[in-house]
Every structure is written in C-alpha cells, then in structure tokens.
Structure 1
Amino acid sequence: MSLMIDHISQVDGQLDRLQLSKQASALSSPELHSASDDAQDHFLSDPISGQGLDLHRILKLQAAIKILSTATSSRALLSSETILATLEQAQALHISATNNQERDGYTTQEQELHWLLVSKAATQTYGLILNVLLEQTLPLSSDIGYWNGILGSYRYTGLYTIQTSPLRLWRWANDVYSDAWQRLQSIRSAGDSNDEEEKQGSISDRWRQFYGLVKDSVRDRSLADMQSRFLSPLTMSRMEAHSKKKHLKKLREMSASGLGILMDEGMIFDVNDEGSVSSKSRSNSQNEWRSVVSKSVSLMETVLGSITVLELGASEFEETVFMGVDDNSGSTQHATEDQSSAQATRLGARLQHILRVNVPSHLAATKQLVRKYGKPSRLVRYWLPALALVLSSGTLLRVFVNRKAEIVRWIRDLGDTTIDFWNNWVVEPTKKVIGTIRHDKDSEIAIMSKESLQGDRASLERMVVDFAVDNPDASGGAPLTDAEIANIRAKVREGDLTPVLRAYEKDLRRPFMGTIKGDLIRALLIQVQKTKVDVEVAVGGIDNLLKSQELVFGFVGLTPGILVCIGVSRWLSGVFAGRRGRFQGGNQGSLIRTLRNVDRVLIGSVPTDNGMLSYKDHGMLLCEVHVLRERARRILPGEIFDEFLEEVSDLVDLRTGVERQIQVAERIRWAYSKWLR
C-alpha cells in the first residue's frame, strides 16, 4: 500500500472508532432501557427518539457505508464514479424519507447513519484529492530536471533552440498575419465610401494590397524587435527555459503546500494512538467530528480552487486557503435534528460538486500549466530525426530492395546460428548433465568400452595357457594337470607370465636358433599382448577417474553456453533499460538519491515556531517519502520492508519535530546501508 492509502485507512478507522464509542454511550444510557420494543411491518422503534425505523432504508444506508469503508472494500481508494453513485443513493433515500407523509424525515439512528455515510464519502474524496496532488507533484521534478539540463549545457541549449525553431517561426508568422489582417480590415472599414471602386478591383490587386500590408507588418515588427536582436538565440532560449523552470517550481511548491495543508489540517479527529476516544472528546459534544468533516470539505474546496493560481506564493496561498475555509463547527455541533440532517445533505451535495466540478477543473488547469511550462512534446523534441528519417527513407528503401536477398540470408543465418548454438551448447549439455545425475548409461564418459579389456585379458590367458601346455619344460617338464592350468590362469590375471618369461629367457641366449627352432617370436608376441592389456588397464583407471568426475565435466561443457546466454541477456536488458541500467542497481541508486532529497528537504526547511515543518516542506517530504517507499518495496525483503515502514512512519510524523525527523533519516541511512550499496 502507498503512503496515502495508509493515511486514509487510518482516518477511516478513526471514524469507525468514534462511532463505536458513541454506540457504547447510547447502549449505556437509561433511555435505551425504557424504549419500546414494538415492531410493525418493516418499521421498528428508535430507542432514543421513539420514532419508527425503516429497516429497508437502514439496510441501504449500511450497505452504502460498507462500500465506502476501507476495511470492507476491495480497494482502499475508490473512484470518483463510485463515490458519486453512493452519494446520489444517499440523497435519494433522504428525499424519500422527507416526502413520506407518514413519517417526518430521518430518525436519530438514520441521521447518524446518514452522517457516517457522508463522512465516509468525505474521507474517500479526501484520499482521492491527496492522491491527485501527489501524482501531479511527482512528475514536476522530472520537468524541472529537464530545464536544468537545458540551462546546464550550451549543447543542450542549442539543441533546444533548433527543436523549438519551427514553433518560433510559426508564432512570428501568425503575429504578422494577424497584424496584416487587422490593417486590411481597418482600411476596408475606412473606405466604405469607395466600396463600388473596390468591388471593381481585380483579385490580383487585392492580393497585392494584402502583400504590401504583410511587408509593412514585417518591417514594423522588425523595428519593434530590434532590441531582442542584440540577444543571441541561445540567450533567448536560456531565458525561456529559466522562466518555465521558475513557473514549474512555483507550481510544485503550491502543490506541495496544498498537500501539506490537507495532510496536517484535514480529517483530524480527537482519537488517541491506542485507538480509544480521548476524555476531552467524551466531555465535549458527540457531534464534534461532524464539524471536522465540514471544515475538511471546505478545506478541500478552497485548496482545489487556489492551487493553480501561480501569481500567489506559497505563503499567500496558505493565507488564502485558511481565509476561505468557513467555520461551521458551532452550527454543526449545536444544530437540531432537522438542521443536522439538512447539513449532512448539503455536505453531500458539496462533495458531489467537488467530484464533478472542482477535481476535473483542477486536473484540466494543472495539465494546461504543465503543457505550457513543462518540457516540450515528443513531436517538438524529435521532429528533426523524424524529418531526417523521412527524407532518407527513399535511399534506405532502395538499399533494402537491392540487398533484399543478402539481408534475408543474413537474418536466416543469424536465426540458424542462434538455434544451433542453443541446441548444441545449452540443450544437449543440459540433457547430458541430467542423464549423469540419473546415471544414464548412454551419457557416461568412456575412453574405451568395457568389453575391450575383458576380451584382451581372456585372449592373453588363452595364449599363456596354450604356451604352457605346448612347452611343459617351461613349467617343470611334466604334463600340466587341470589344477596347474587353473593356477596359471589365476597368475595371468594377476599379471604373472612366468612360463612365457622362462622360455623367452632360454631362447634369448641363442636368439637366432631360438627364432628358428624355439618359441622366441611366440613369447615376444605374448608379451606384446601383455603390454596391450597393461595399457588398457591403465586407460581403464583413467576412465574410472573420468566417470567419478562426470558431473563436473558435464557442467564444464554447459558453462560456455550459459555464460554466453547470460551475457547476451544482460546486454539486451541494458539496451532496453536505457539509462536506468540494471534493474537492481538502478533501484539502489534511485533509493540513495531519494534519501538525499529527503535529507535536503529536512535540512533546508524553515521550521515553524513550534519546531515543526511548514506545510510546503511537509508536502515535499511526503512526495519524496512516497517515492522512497515504492522503490524500497522492490529491494528490501518482506520482514525488512515492514521494519522500514515503521521508520517511514516516524519520518513523516510532523509532531516529532524537524530535529527528530533528521535523526530518523540518518538512522534509515545506516540501518539499511546493506541494501543501499
């Protein structure tokens, strides 16, 4: 919720507590216990006045109150159409009660409900106006910043001069045309006696006469503007920018003053922070809150009527507002029942007038001032590049047509490259990583197959066994038994080739004879097979090592594609975000700048005699705090943001004084420095 919604919810809750306190007083009064309990049809008896109660009308009033309540409504701030419809319904109910011949207008309970309904409508209107003033004040800082940029750089001043040159030329031509046309009309009115001769003149003579008047008007205006010729166009543009900036600053001060007045003086009820009605309020009249509502409605009317009069300063505006507020407190507190009902009806009519006339008029007047003194429209700012684009559109179109095939091929190649990169460097590595996590056999990393080592080892066993069987002398001289063959197989698995090595050593003594008659070559080939098996065992160890780190290699293969995707996405976000940069970093930077603006408002303020902020400074502080809350919502975590709202509540509390508010701003700066870096 925004700052204004919290404030309106608090005011609405105060109204509810006032009504509950009044109902408790009525329930404890002796008149309630002596009231009649009779009921006929849809009428009941009012326990206080003894008049009949129309349940149908009471239910309608209660339903309307429920619509306007922030606690029961789906939206804290209602639209003006909803408020108007509810007020019109209440007005129709009052007219029907007044025109009823059997009853004499509203009863006491119905009057209380009517006043509560009007008060709820006044609260919603109050919130609507506060929101309007806040939303209109915030963009003014952007326009003022635009003019500061124009005044702070001669390059921007020259660009502004070029941008507004067509408007200057158009105003000058319009003035010349108007002056020439007025001269022509005066000549025609002075020559009524020669009307016949004028009618006989040709069209070319008339145009020649008008052209001569235009030349005279141009010459006269050139002489009249001789003084401005001594000023360069840049100087004139800077003077214009300075004037518009001055008017915008005054409009912002007026809007901030109006916002501060409404926040500090409007809808202030005598309710304690704990939620109970103070003893002073109980001792005074129960209708005191009606006077507060009436004065608040008058305050809203006066503020809306005077806030766009820029001829007034902030102090003169505040004096005008308080002089224009009519004090109805005495008449409201001591009014009779009929007068009270009529006052509630008139107050509802004033609220309808505010919503129908005052608010739209204020919006239109503010929009007109912003259009007059704010930064130029997009058409004025971008007509030069738009004109260059239009003039070069033919050349660009020819280039596109002549190179259509190449451009289409570039686009197609770019699309294919992007798709292939996505599939080969992102999708496939991701699938492999997922397969590795799930122990998919197809995704296992392997330098050689499992069957290769087993086959070579079995072949080596057969070679050694056959060699030992064929050469029993190498094994002891006697034929080998099955147990000895099994022992040789077991030793071969362990890498022991003793029978082969003995024959190899024997034949190696006489290599030539061993090669011809012996088994030297056969023993040598068996050792080659043994070397092959040893190499495969070593490769198998490496293979097992790779398999143990298979997930790491999968992520290594996925990393380049992920890094490229992240880099491209960050570049695109930077391109589309423009000057704001990264979203998080931009929010942090803007949060620090907003805190700086809050500090400037507090330190640069001129406190009143009781050490509190003035209405203008309070309004400026509310605008900055509203922006601070919205930007902090995007950065701070949930629990931290709740604590931040408590600090913000202390920051905008006018009763604590300027010194305490400066301390709160400093506490926010160091307490949340982690999220401001």
Structure 2
Amino acid sequence: MSFVTDQVRRIDGQLDRLQLSQLTTTDEPRDGETVQTKDFHNVRRVEELQALVKTLSTTSYPKNPLLSTKRIQEILRDAKISKLCPICQDLSEESEAASPDYITREAPIAPSEVAYEHELEWLIISKATTQAYGQVVNTLLDQTIPITEDILYWDDIIGSYRYAGLYSIQTSPLRLMAWGKDIFHDVRRRREAFVEDLTQVSISDRWKRFWGILKQTVRDRSVLDIQRRVVGPLALVRNEARRKQDQLRRTKLLNANALGMLLGEGLSNHVLHEDGFSASHAHQWKSTVATSISLMDVALTSITNPSCSVADFDEHISAATSRDALFKLSPHRAAALSPADAAQRLETLLTRHIPHYKSTLAASVIAHGRPSPLIRYWLPFTALLLSSGTLLRLLLNRKAQILAGIRDLGATVLDFWANWVVEPTRKVIGTIRHDEGSEVSIMSKRSLEGDRASLERMVVDFARDVPPESGTLTDAELADVQLKVKEGDLTPVLRVYERDLQSPLRGAVTGNLVRALLIQIQKTKVDVEVAMGGIDALLKSQELVFGFVGLTPGVLVLMFTGRWLNSTFGTRKGRALGQQQGELVRELRNIDRILAAADVTEYGELLYKDHGLLLCEVHVLRQSAQKVLPRNIFRDFLEEIEDLVDVRSGRERQLGVVGRMRWAYARWL
C-alpha cells in the first residue's frame, strides 16, 4: 500500500461526505414533497446508478482500492450516461440570458427525479475520475522509479573502463548487425545508381560488378571506421552511454514534473488545501472534477510529446490547458456541462492516453535503458550451448559416481542431524529432567564403596593376624582400627611394613612384607578413586554446560548454512534486515539531497519537478519502512510522511521533518 491509495481513499471519502451533506439539505420537505427513491418512476435506473456508485467506492475494496482502467471503462459503459441532459440544457439556456452576476447564484431546482439521477451520474463520473487519478499517479510512479536503476547502470559504464569494455563485448553483436545493415543499404544504393539493361550483360559480368560494389562499400566503411578510431572504442562506448543516460534523465524529469503537477493542482490539492469539494456551492466539486480530467489528459499528452522539453514543460502545460474548454470551468458552467461529455473525455483518457503513455515510455526505456539480459549474457549462454554436448556426455559417463556422491551427501547430512543436533538436544533435555541415563560420569557409582570396604576388611584382618607386641587386640580395638582406616590411617600395617623392611628377604619369605605392600596398593587405589569421585561430582554439577557445549557445533553449522542459503537463494523480499535498514538510510539521504538542491517559489514551496522527485523517493521510503518498522511505529511514521510530502509547508519545514525522522527512528536505521 502506498500514499497513492491513501490519496484515493481520502478523495473518495470527501465525495461521500459531500453527498451526505447535500442529501441532508435536499431531503428536507419542499412544498410538501420529499425526494425519495420509492417515488421515482424509473426506479430500476436509479438503483443501477446507485450500485455503480458503490462499485466505484473505495470502501468496497479494503485491501486494494484502485480499480484497473479496464474495470473503470466497463463501469462507465454500464452507466449508459445519455448526452440528452434536461438540467444541463436548461442551465445552458439560462446562463446565456442571465446577467453577469448569475454565476454567484444557485441553479434553479429541477424536478426531483431528474435532478437525483443527474447527481448520481455526476457522482459516478467523480468517483471514476478519482480512480483514474489514482491510476495515472500510480502509473507515473511505476514508470519513473525504475528509470533510476538504468541511470545508475550507465553511471557504472561511464565511470569505469572495465564496465565499458564489458559493455562493448556484450553489445558487439548489435554493432556487427548494424554494420552489416549499413553495408547492405550502401550496396543497394550504389547498385541502383548503375542500373542498365541487364539483358545485355552476362551473368559473370553481373557478379563481377556486384563484388566490385561490395568491395568498394566495405573499403569505404573501413575508412570511416578508421577515422572514428581516433577517439578510441571505449570513448565511443562511453559517449553512447552518456547520450542514453541524458535521455533517461529527461524522461525522469518530465515524469516528475507531471507527477508534481498532478499532486499540486489535481484532486489531492483540492481535497487537502482548497475548497474544491466544499458544499458551500452546489456545483463547485463538478468544476474540480472537470479540471482534474483535463489536467491528467494534458499531462500525459505532454510527456509523450517529443518537442516538449523539461525547461518549457510548465509553459507547454499552460498553453494546452488554456485551449482546453474543460479546464477551470466556473461552478455554473460546470453545472451546465453534460455528464456524458465528461464521461467521454474520461474514457478517452483511459482508452487512449494512458496506454499510449505506457507504450511510449516502455519503448523509450527499451531504446535508452540497460540492454536486455539476452544481450548482456549472450557470451555465457553461447559458451554453455556449445559445451552442452560435452557436459551431457560427462554426466552420462559418471552417472553412477554422481548418484553415489548425492547419496553420500544425503547420508552425511542425516548423520550430522542425528549425531550433532538430535542426540545432544536429547541429552540436554535429559539433564534438565535429571535423567539418570544422561548423567555425566567417569566412574561407576558403587566402585568407591566396594574398594573402601575391602580395604577396611584387609586392614582389620591384618591387625588381627599380626598383633602388636602388647598382645592380641580386643574387639573394641579392632573397631577403632576400622574407624581409623575410614579416615585413611593404616598405622598397624605400616608398623609391620617398617619392621619387615629391615630384612626384606626374610620379611618377604617368612614375614608379612608382601601382604602389607598389597594393602598399601589397595589404599592407593582407594585414594585415586576418592580423587576421581571429586572430579565426577564437579562434572555432574556442570553437566548442563557440557550438554550445551556438545550442542553448539551443530547449531553453529545450521545457522551459518541457513544464512548462506538465504543470502544465495533468497529473493529481494527476503533480504536481511540490515540491507532493508540500508535502503531506509539511502532513501532518507536522497530525500535530503533533493530538498537541499531544490528550487523554490517565492513562497518557499518546491517546484513541480522537485516535488515529483520527492514523491518518488517517499514512495520507495514508505515501502521499505513497512518491512522494517513495527506496526504501531509505522503508523507514526506515516504522519511524518504526510508532513514530508506537504509542499505547502515549505522546504525548510520539510528539511526539519527529515531531521526529525533521523533521530526519532534511529533505532531502526
């Protein structure tokens, strides 16, 4: 949705309010009689007109209120507006016999049925004009905005030798065809200059003469080409690019002039700033509608006129409208205008001028815009076509290998998904839910308890079998030894171990040296398991962290792969947010540049040309902002847009609006 649809809705709403205000006054009793549809003799005609009015209303199309030109034509034909209008004839006769100040008086009241049908016909014309106004403005925007891309394309050609050389290669077939066509025409012209009685000349002489003319023509063309090479081939290419760019700029400025004029003098201007749709005069709005039809007609005709330049566009419009009887009608003369005349003029605009404008501008863009994709990429296409047989044979010969590679790639992707995404995710979920099967552990749960109990039994048995010199240990002393073993004290074993070490061989054969050594080995094993248990407890306390660490590689690979696919195969609508924000900044820069360099009138307002250029940039800015800004922020942004396109506020205030938009929406820029 653009500001064009907003303008059309606003104008259509103003027409509806005007009709409601008039119905409020005309429905009051007059001489004991009221105007009601049920009292009409031709009820079917009135109902048909009312249905067509609803069809043309923007409230019937919430999403896209702009009707196509073909649909508007169908509605006008369905209205069957007759050229015989009794009210118009009466007003025309009375205006001829009226005094000069008659224009300030209201028109006489006609019979209720005829007057109401007449007003419905004019309402259909008004709503159809509103739809046509939206179509014309929208067409101007759609035709003007893409020209900027072609102008930038020629900027690259002019400013870079590399791009100029590439363009020269791309367009070489066209130049070769033009050279061959020139040779053909020169040969035909020279052959016709030496026409003689062919019956007296043999066939061989004819061929000799033909080849002589051809060689001479090619030689002359070669001399001309050598003379042209004084400036160099790239200079010729850049000169051609500069010439086409100038033509595109002329077309863009003409469209911008027409767009600014339609917004500054058309229906939008009357609705926003003037009293064109006011109910203070019964026929003021008819005059505004007739003026707008004439203005759209003259604007499209002037753009397609080759003799109309940018400098004298305003003078050309003024001269054309001064000769147009439909332009700037007084309210009374507009009332005397037959609805059929306005409908015929509007239908001419829809059937002839709009299609002619589109076809003319499309032909101009084709002639002066960037070359078609077929011309720009003929060399790769030709290389691909010539090597297609080799590529096909290569694919057929290695079909099995290619299929195996595709299967391996699919299996690798599936294994990666299962092993590095699904399984780590399952472990993380199990850790969160305290699933015992997902706990991180480096040793079994019962290993330490079993080894410690075994050590206690070994030390107690050793103390019982090898009592100290004081005598056999009692049960209480053995219980105390077992308690000390739990704390890591192996004194009974170490005492015997130290004594047997004094005579190692005898202690190993007859003593308990080996047994004490094995008990110490068991003690070392228990100490190692205690240390490992501490590490195990630390891992269990951080097992959620380790789960996410295991999931991170798969997530990173998926994220980078998704970004690459989006940037490689994504459409313009799916561009990254950063690129969309860059578009917003670029459009604001263009708007600021247009306002800073614009020429203003004595009232500080923009000229039509600069106003049209501003509207084009604002149109693109609004579309870009709709993708970036949240919905509630975008509603506030639309208010800034309304202030920005209001030329009546003056250039200084418009520059202030641009500055406010920069800091107010800096978060999204």
Same fold (TM over 0.5): yes
CA contact (8 A) 2:605 2:648 kept: yes
Of 483, 489, 499, which residue of structure 2 is paired with 1:491?
483
Of 417, 420, 431, which residue of structure 2 is paired with 1:425?
420
Q: Which residue of 2 aligns with 1:158?
A: 165
Of 65, 73, 78, which residue of structure 2 is paired with 1:89?
78
* Matched ranges for 1:212-291 at <5 A: 212-219=212-219, 221=221, 228-268=228-268, 281-283=278-280, 285-291=281-287
Q: Structure 1 pair 490/97, CA: closer, same or farther in 2 (3 Å)?
A: farther
Q: Structure 1 pair 280/416, CA: closer, same or farther in 2 (3 Å)?
A: closer
SS at match of 2:13: helix
1:275-294 per-position Cα deviation (integer Å, ceiling 9, x unaligned): xx9699444x2221111111
CA contact (8 A) 1:244 1:373 kept: yes
Q: Which residue of 1 aligns with 2:290?
A: 294
1:377 deviates by: 1.5
CA contact (8 A) 1:504 1:519 kept: no
Of 635, 651, 659, which residue of structure 2 is paired with 1:658?
651
1:385 deviates by: 3.0
* Matched ranges for 1:290-369 at <5 A: 290-325=286-321, 326-328=324-326, 333-334=331-332, 343-369=338-364
1:566-607 per-position Cα deviation (integer Å, ceiling 9, x unaligned): 334444445457999972332233322222211221111111
CA contact (8 A) 2:12 2:57 kept: yes
SS at match of 2:600: coil
1:602 aligns with 2:592: no
Structure 2: stretches of 5+ with no match in the other structure: 88-110
- State the identity as a percent: 47
Q: Which residue of 2 aligns with 1:49?
A: none
Partner Cα distance (2:558, 2:635) in 1: 36
SS at match of 2:38: strand
Partner Cα distance (1:516, 1:87) in 2: 126
Q: Structure 1 pair 269/573, CA: closer, same or farther in 2 (3 Å)?
A: closer
Q: Structure 1 pair 667/477, CA: closer, same or farther in 2 (3 Å)?
A: same
1:502 aligns with 2:500: no
Partner Cα distance (2:277, 2:162) in 1: 64
Partner Cα distance (1:23, 1:435) in 2: 74
Amino acid in structure 1 at the alignment position of 2:2 = S
Q: Structure 1 pair 389/281, CA: closer, same or farther in 2 (3 Å)?
A: closer
Q: Structure 1 pair 315/467, CA: closer, same or farther in 2 (3 Å)?
A: same
* Matched ranges for 1:6-405 at <5 A: 6-27=6-27, 29-31=28-30, 34-35=32-33, 44-45=38-39, 52=40, 54-74=42-62, 75-91=64-80, 107-185=114-192, 191=196, 194=197, 197=200, 201-202=202-203, 205-219=205-219, 221=221, 228-268=228-268, 281-283=278-280, 285-325=281-321, 326-328=324-326, 333-334=331-332, 343-393=338-388
CA contact (8 A) 2:2 2:623 kept: yes
CA contact (8 A) 1:436 1:550 kept: yes
1:393-415 per-position Cα deviation (integer Å, ceiling 9, x unaligned): 55656666666666666555555
1:453 aligns with 2:448: yes
CA contact (8 A) 1:163 1:380 kept: yes
SS at match of 1:309: coil
Partner Cα distance (2:451, 2:538) in 1: 21
CA contact (8 A) 2:297 2:349 kept: yes
1:154 deviates by: 2.2
Partner Cα distance (2:415, 2:85) in 1: 77
1:303-356 per-position Cα deviation (integer Å, ceiling 9, x unaligned): 11221334322242222223323354776732698x56xx22332333333222
Amino acid in structure 1 at the alignment position of 2:499 = R
Amino acid in structure 2 at the alignment position of 1:535 = V
1:459-488 per-position Cα deviation (integer Å, ceiling 9, x unaligned): 34554565567678899857648xx98x66
1:357 deviates by: 2.0
Q: Structure 1 pair 246/507, CA: closer, same or farther in 2 (3 Å)?
A: closer
1:77 deviates by: 1.7
**Which stretch shifts more, 625-634 or 359-368?**
625-634
Partner Cα distance (2:326, 2:252) in 1: 31
Partner Cα distance (1:580, 1:272) in 2: 34
CA contact (8 A) 2:18 2:279 kept: no
CA contact (8 A) 2:286 2:334 kept: no
Amino acid in structure 2 at the alignment position of 1:364 = S
Partner Cα distance (1:93, 1:533) in 2: 112
Partner Cα distance (1:226, 1:468) in 2: 118
Partner Cα distance (1:231, 1:77) in 2: 52
CA contact (8 A) 1:5 1:77 kept: yes
1:165-201 per-position Cα deviation (integer Å, ceiling 9, x unaligned): 221221121122123334445655xx4xx47547xx5
Figure out how many residues of one structure are paired with residues of the other and give that number: 641
Partner Cα distance (2:41, 2:594) in 1: 55
Amino acid in structure 2 at the alignment position of 1:435 = G
SS at match of 2:443: coil
1:670 aligns with 2:663: yes
SS at match of 1:314: coil
1:406-436 per-position Cα deviation (integer Å, ceiling 9, x unaligned): 6666555555444433433333222222222
Partner Cα distance (2:528, 2:174) in 1: 88
Partner Cα distance (2:215, 2:50) in 1: 74
Q: Structure 1 pair 397/30, CA: closer, same or farther in 2 (3 Å)?
A: closer
Partner Cα distance (1:122, 1:555) in 2: 65
Q: Structure 1 pair 187/477, CA: closer, same or farther in 2 (3 Å)?
A: same
Structure 1: stretches of 5+ with no match in the other structure: 46-51, 99-103
Q: Structure 1 pair 503/448, CA: closer, same or farther in 2 (3 Å)?
A: closer
Amino acid in structure 1 at the alignment position of 2:175 = R
Partner Cα distance (1:507, 1:226) in 2: 113
* Matched ranges for 1:553-592 at <5 A: 553-576=546-569, 583-592=576-585
1:67-105 per-position Cα deviation (integer Å, ceiling 9, x unaligned): 32223313222222332232222227999999xxxxx99
Q: Structure 1 pair 508/526, CA: closer, same or farther in 2 (3 Å)?
A: same
Of 516, 521, 526, which residue of structure 2 is paired with 1:533?
526
**Which stretch shifts more, 666-675 or 409-418?**
409-418
Q: Which residue of 1 aligns with 2:102?
A: none
CA contact (8 A) 1:591 1:631 kept: yes
Of 613, 631, 634, which residue of structure 1 is paired with 2:627?
634
| Superposition TM-score, scaled by structure 1 size | 0.83
Q: Which residue of 2 aligns with 1:548?
A: 541
| Superposition TM-score, scaled by structure 2 size | 0.84
**Which stretch shifts more, 657-666 or 424-433?**
424-433
Q: Structure 1 pair 439/57, CA: closer, same or farther in 2 (3 Å)?
A: farther
**Which stretch shifts more, 594-603 or 501-510?**
501-510
CA contact (8 A) 2:158 2:242 kept: yes
CA contact (8 A) 1:580 1:586 kept: no
1:129-170 per-position Cα deviation (integer Å, ceiling 9, x unaligned): 111110111111111111111111222222222322221221
**Which stretch shifts more, 584-593 or 252-261?**
584-593
